[in-house]
Structure 1
Amino acid sequence: MYSINYDSKEEFLSGVIAVPARKALEKEKIDSLEKLSRYSEKEIMQLHGFGKNTMVKLKNYMSDHQFSFTEA
């Protein structure tokens, strides 16, 4: 498995989730699926901009790229 880092923070998850959620991840220094997978779903849901709809999109995207959230 390899980490995908993006040159521009705006590119990470662009078109997958909305800007407020992407900015919340940026604030937490989460800029790759590898880093995102170190968090639990519950932890991410506590960030600004994350709701059920965003989480469904995010989980589907992660699954498509062989990543998942850590178990809480």
Structure 2
Amino acid sequence: MKRQKDEKKFVEALKKGDKVITRSGLHGKVVELNDKDASCVIETMAGRLKFDRSAISMEMSKKLNPVEKK
């Protein structure tokens, strides 16, 4: 249950400019977020692709965006 809560917080905290990796291994940068259908557009070297936010891997993406410690 803790992992599910963490995943939900991660998906809600996504913002433009974040570097992400999808569960299938696609690397890209978030360029657009749509709250209406919980999707996001990711820019890759091949172009822009639309994904459901749940397709983004929290574990792999966190390695690309180190969290600042206060």
TM range (shorter): under 0.3
Higher RCO structure, 1 or 2 (CA under 8 Å, sep 6+): 1
Which structure is higher in helix share?
1
Which structure is higher in strand share?
2
Instruction: Tell me the TM-score normalised to structure 2 length.
Output: 0.25
Instruction: Tell me the TM-score normalised to structure 1 length.
Output: 0.25
